[in-house]
Structure 1
Amino acid sequence: MVTKKAEQQAVYWTEISDSVSRRFHFEADGQVSMKVVDDSRAVIHKMVDCFYNKFFPSGYPYSVSEGYLRYTQFRALQHITSAALSVLSTQSLLFAAGLRPTPAQATAILRDGMQHVGKLICSNLGARMDSEPKSWRILADVLFDLGTGLEVLSPLCPHLFLEVAGLGNFAKGIAVVAARATRLPIYSSFAKEGNLSDLFAKGEAISTLFNVVGLGAGISLASTICSSMQGKLVVGPLLSILHVYSVVEEIQAVPVNTLNSQRTAMIVADFLKAGKISSPADLRYQEDLLFTGRLIEDAGNVKVGRALRKVVKPSKLRELKQIFLEEKFLLSHGNEWVDMVLEQDATGEDALRGWLVAAYAADIGKSSHEPSASALQEAYDKMNDVFPPFLSELQAKGWHTDRFLDGTGSRFSW
């Protein structure tokens, strides 16, 4: 039995790590408080620690997934080059407008209007961005550089100034929406301890810091090398190449842990070939960011998202439903691939079950063009045998199986 006196007695302890002594004790409300008692580290080490505290999530590197440092390094470089390009494009626009107030005001209105049009068009593509955040994030920066390039070139065609500036901002509008929409899925992939808000806040702090650095670099370039159009034509493409390279490296480091068509196929292929479950970190550099809808033969050449009426003949619908009576998917074998159609409320687990059946059926029926009903039944039974441990290990590796992100793919309901 704990006495009231014992309850009121504070519990203190001291921890020494990396030449820093920290004293901990429990507050009355049960929270732990900490005070630095002695810090004999060199000044440079204190500065580095301060930088980590300001710009990295609490508990770094243990509170984030693998690849966060590389992602952050190239993100910093991306922001520097992006901000520098923005300065150059703004300078060119001012030259092209002749620094006259009225045209400049009209241009600003047109530019903003075209950017809003781009945002509205892109806002309808949110589901696809959830499914393929990496590809859309890269596309966003390519479009941003395209828009910036048009602005930089605007002094070469002053008679088309409004058209060029408007088109440039249209591309930038799409880029802004795509970049913002993919930010949350990317941050979510790094969160490990319910620290998404901390990750987001520190990530935005890094963006702000290095955007300021990039603006300074851009101002310096604009007043020296890039004060002429010839200088811009040399430096602009170099900055753009470095910018896109940084984005690609940054995005490839992201271990996206949600299931879409490509990642599901890669998981199933690795499981069937090597008997192992790949983690998000294992697959991050294997994703095809250009051809996201590619078919993977080792995973059964499955394609998801086509309408039920286009993939299943009425005469076969009843037969398939009998085989997959309790399931939320249907499989239809075509000449080049296997179509999987999901029910409206199907989850990632349902998609995984269907994918395994398709892969096993493809292996069983290699000799025939289309697996028979008995082959499908055998594949289905085999899937049921392996699925419980398969799913448990998949979730233990960090995959989120509660949803399947098929973009704007078609689903059905009975």
Structure 2
Amino acid sequence: MAPLLEGPPPPPCPSKILMRESIRLSANLASPLKVRRGQGQGDDERERVLCCEVWGGKRYKYVGMGKGKGMAIGVAQAVPLHSSHNPFEDLITFIRSWVVPDGYPESVTSSYAPYMQWRALKYFFGGAMSVFTTRSLLHSVGIVGKGSASSAVAVNWVLKDGAGRIGKMLFARLGKKFDSDLKQLRFTSDLFMEFGAGIELATAAAPHLFLPFACAANVAKNIAAVTSTSTRSHIYRAFAQGENIGDVTAKGECISNIADLLGTGLSVYISKQNPSLLATFAVLSCGYIFCSYREVKSVVLNSLNNTRFAAAVESFLETGRVPSVKEGNMKENFFPWSQKQPVIIGARLIEAFQKPNDFLSVQPLFEKEKYIVTYNPLKGQAYALLREKSSSDDVMRAAFHAHLLLHVMQTSKKVEATRNPINYAKVDIFDSHTAYSTLSAADIQAEIADTCGRVSSLYSVFKNQAAQQGWRMSESLLNSGNARVLKIEEDEM
């Protein structure tokens, strides 16, 4: 099938120039002005409320400042709205971001709160009990005697476990990423597991640093544990063909325990031969990481996260065909050191737009949409700003539009470089800092206006093809940011 976007872009036609001027004029009338008189004629300083935004549970308004009748706004700042300046409320907001799911209480059922209250109390009593049980176990095997020495060793051991639990809490704040980027996090957690094992090995060389080394190792291992627990159900659900998720999970854990026992038996046998500790650890660690890579690679998920969605849209725009579920998963890259984000979904206005006038110019194009897309040539990234109450389909449509815009920008740059071989030799079209720095704001606005006319038909075809290929389109796992653009209220002008 031929590519959907084929050939070099046509030169600007009179209708496109007319559209550009219409956008500019409507931007100047988009919001009210507040005039501050300057000292000289024509130096009136004008203030315009660009938009309002909610981010991190707080509301902001973006205020632009400019001079003269042309109102070329050069500076914008985010001003907090209804700020209470109450440090206690800020502390509560910070704690909530760690201990409750995103979107709480709407994102969970009513039984979630009582369940977690009783679960927290259960773990409170269990944690208090652990000091005494650990002391008894150490005493029973003759490691320590009675009295204060026994208590000190037990406390050190419990502190080691406590440090690991802190690691769990730190990593648990990733929240929705456990749903959307579970492959990436699963492989990263296994790297943490091996890092922790290496630190434990180092305690033999520095026994006097047992407590800090053991604490650091436990933090790394508990990060791996919380990731494994949080992603396990999604992986087993991908294997279950019916209502047998519990059976699949139980049998999978049984196989894991059998393999773990066999590995333990082998290590006991090998240790009796007094091999080189470092060489043995290196071989086993390499085997662990390789198997982890193959394990994650074998998982086939029919949901569209950021990485799989990008691969599907890129294939669709280049070939006119959405890849199958298996093909899309094979294209997914989950190495933590090679993760790039060419498209940012749910970005803040201050991240997406270089100048306030850029926002005012494209805003009229998206009056009927639940999002706004733009392109930042300095960063080489496309951005999708989401409006309040945007649905899952709105987020997916915004992401598709942003990828379409990015594809158009990349294609136009390749064509331009090909036409001018001298520039082609000097400019790396994949370098986000240099590839698109020559584009003017008018060029970008014209491309955005062009994609607005094509996105509806292309997105409809993409959704139909994706559903036919087996992708689950009913819900989106695109891990968008939590910033939302709001309507300007009267009291916020």
TM-score normalised by L of structure 1: 0.67
CA distance in 2 between counterparts of 1:129 and 1:330 reads 27
1:331 to 367, 370, 373: 373
The superposition leaves residues 316-355 of structure 1 with CA deviations (integer Å, 9 ceiling, x where unpaired) of 4454343223322211121122111223544553344234
Picking from 272, 285, 304, the partner of 2:330 is 285
Does the alignment pair 1:136 with 2:185?
yes
Answer whether contact 1:347 1:403 (CA < 8 A) is retained: no
Query: Does the CA contact (< 8 Å) of 2:308 and 2:329 recur in 1?
Result: no
1:183 maps to: 232
Aligned residues of 1:189 and 1:255 also touching (Cα < 8 A):
yes
**Percentage identity across paired residues of the two chains:** 25
Cα contact 1:262–1:287 (8 A) shared by 2:
yes
1:378 aligns with 450
In the alignment of these two chains, the number of paired residues is 310
Matched, 1:200 2:249: yes
* Residues 252, 285 of structure 1: 8 Å contact kept: yes
Structure 2 Cα separation of the partners of residues 306 and 270 of structure 1? 25
Shift of 1:118: 0.9
> Does residue 246 of the first structure (1) align with residue 288 of the second (2)?
no
Counterpart among 287, 305, 315 of residue 260 in structure 1: 305
| Cα distance in 2 between the residues matched to 1:397 and 1:341 | 29
Q: Is the 8 A contact 1:118 1:174 kept in 2?
A: yes
Cα distance in 1 for residues equivalent to 2:407 and 2:184: 31
Q: Does 1:231 align with 2:285?
A: no
Taking a change above 3 Å as real, the CA distance of residues 256 and 113 of structure 1, as seen in their structure-2 partners, is same
After TM superposition, the score normalised by the length of structure 2 is 0.57
* 1:224-254 deviation per Cα after TM superposition (whole angstroms, max 9, x unaligned): 13xx5x6322211211110111001100111
Q: AA paired with 2:278? A: L
- TM-aligned CA distance change 1:208 to 1:255, over 3 Å: same
Residues 1:171 and 2:171 are matched in the alignment: no
Most deviating of 349-358 and 173-182 = 349-358
For residue 388 of structure 1, what is the aligned residue in structure 2?
460
Shift of the 186–344 alpha-carbon distance from structure 1 to 2, 3 Å rule, reads farther
Are residues 284 and 106 of structure 1, via their aligned partners in 2, closer, same or farther at CA, if it must alter by over 3 Å?
A: same
Give how far 1:359 is off. 4.3
Structure 1 gaps of 5+ residues are 1-93, 296-300
**Normalized per residue, which structure has more helix?**
1
Is 1:310 the counterpart of 2:348 in the alignment? no
Q: Deviations over 1:269-313 (max 9, x none)?
A: 000111111123112232221256425xxxxx4333431233245
Quote the Cα distance in structure 1 between the aligned partners of 2:165 and 2:406. 48
Contact 1:262 1:292 in 2 (8 A): no
Contact 1:262–1:294 (8 Å) recurs in 2: no
In structure 1, what residue type is equivalent to 2:225? Answer: V
CA RMSD of aligned residues (A): 2.9
Equivalent-residue separation in structure 2 for 1:194 and 1:307 (angstroms): 41
Are 1:330 and 1:340, in contact at CA under 8 Å, matched by a contact in 2? yes
Residues 391-402 of structure 1 aligned to structure 2 (within 5 Å): 391-402=463-474
Paired with 1:113 and 1:105, the residues of 2 have a C-alpha distance of 12
Superposed CA offset, 1:177-221 (max 9, x none)? 112112223223334435433332222222222222222223323
1:353-378 Cα deviation digits (max 9, x unpaired): 23443444456562655545554343
Partner residue in 2 for 1:162: 211
Of 209-218 and 265-274, deviating more is 209-218
**Deviation per CA, 1:1-43, whole angstroms, max 9, x where unpaired?**
xxxxxxxxxxxxxxxxxxxxxxxxxxxxxxxxxxxxxxxxxxx
CA distance in structure 2 between the aligned counterparts of 1:196 and 1:393, rounded to whole angstroms: 28
Does residue 271 of the first structure (1) align with residue 316 of the second (2)? yes
Structure 1: distance between partners of 2:264 and 2:388: 48
Q: Distance in 1 between matches of 2:237 and 2:169?
A: 25
Aligned with 2:340 (options 282, 294, 299): 294
Asked if structure 2 preserves the Cα contact closer than 8 Å seen for 1:258 and 1:405, the reply is yes
8 Å Cα contact 2:375/2:406 also seen in 1: no
Worse-superposed segment, 278-287 or 373-382: 373-382
Structure 2: segments with no counterpart, 5+ residues: 1-137, 417-438, 487-493
Q: Which residue of 1 aligns with 2:477?
A: 405
1:49-60 correspondence runs (5 A): none
CA gap of 1:306–1:402, structure 2 versus 1, over 3 A, is: same
Q: Partners in 1 of 2:211 and 2:408 — Cα distance?
A: 62
